[in-house]
Copies of this chain bind each other. A is one copy, B any other.
């Protein structure tokens, strides 16, 4: 193991009363600089945040020294190696101990930090998280949840799984519903989130066998688990106000997420084209600038950068590989918020309770645990 500690004594003094976030400095598309810029932005408005930053010390230190605000708030952990975007997860699981990604998760495992953030290879991050943090009780398949811009008052819906695993059986989908509800309750402040199961139609006879089974078992336990179950939803409902949490397997969820991003990119391209065709359209674009900025703000995917790994003993946030400083800042803010809420413990309690008190579990417990999940 090639990781080493670069001690910052002031950090040690400060960190006990602070929220410590573990950051993988390497592996994003835009390098260390963007990650540090994102940390600066977050630190500017979150005085309670401290960082452990993992990566090549010789690349990190010169950049870090430029930012006074980070001076006493960052501890650097040197790691020689970097997980590349095209590295196979199986290789990293065997030979990845000296990478910054591995080191960043180790800080969560050791409880030095409450949440880890990485812009690197998703598959490798999940693979290391599974072996180092291990799965929470009752969770066979962890999931990655994201926030999707929507027409709901809270502005976003939760969708999971968007790519932790390409498969999910009915029981996995039920656990996703429990975890997604907990995330919506804590992350979006929804007391009774509405859960929908993604399918190719809303009629009961449509779709795959595992979806019919999941439809039944999720519906059976909705009240016990303090969510509303709206049944099957379609792709068009993902950004709608009919539902707060969309449950699906990681293959379908990943395709849907990227299709949504691709569609938004296409429309953005056509919009720039429409407003720059000729001198008249450019003038009207200037006049419409406030409107266009408002629009961009409303649908800017960078504002909600960060897929959360759910179902592990520790919280891990995967930032978009192409994230800029605004995107990295958003991922760090999310990490901070979830840490402050004690989210991971609440989620674990919620899943354990949901599985224990399931209709398809004979050892039901009639005495509900109270207040575990808000």
* Interfacial chain B residues near A290, Cβ < 8 Å: 280-281, 284
Report if A66 contacts B (CB, 8 A): no
CA distance A226 to B6 in the complex (A): 59
Which of the segments A94-102, A247-255, A348-356 contacts the partner chain?
A247-255
Which of the segments A20-28, A43-51, A53-61, A231-239 contacts the partner chain?
A231-239
Report if A271 contacts B (CB, 8 A): yes
Partner pick for A255 among B198, B270, B274, B284, CB 8 A cutoff? B198
CA distance A267 to B299 in the complex (A): 7
| Minimum C-beta distance from A85 to chain B (A) | 9
Most buried by B among A201, A248, A257, A291: A291
Which of the segments A69-77, A175-183, A202-210 contacts the partner chain?
A202-210
Answer whether A266 and B88 are a contact pair too, CB < 8 Å, given A252-B251, A287-B287, A288-B288: no
* Interfacial chain B residues near A264, Cβ < 8 Å: 263, 267
Provide the A201-232 mask, 1 if CB < 8 A to any CB of B, else 0: 10101111000000000000000000000000
- Within the oligomer, what is the number of copies of this chain? 2
Provide the A287-314 mask, 1 if CB < 8 A to any CB of B, else 0: 1101110110011000000000000000
* Interfacial chain B residues near A240, Cβ < 8 Å: 262
Known contacts A151-B266, A235-B254; 10 further A-B pairs (Cβ under 8 A): A86-B203, A166-B200, A235-B257, A235-B261, A235-B262, A236-B262, A259-B259, A259-B263, A274-B298, A284-B287
19 contacts between A and B (CB under 8 A): A150-B266, A235-B259, A236-B265, A238-B263, A256-B256, A256-B259, A259-B260, A260-B262, A263-B264, A267-B267, A267-B299, A270-B295, A274-B298, A281-B288, A281-B290, A281-B291, A281-B294, A284-B288, A285-B288
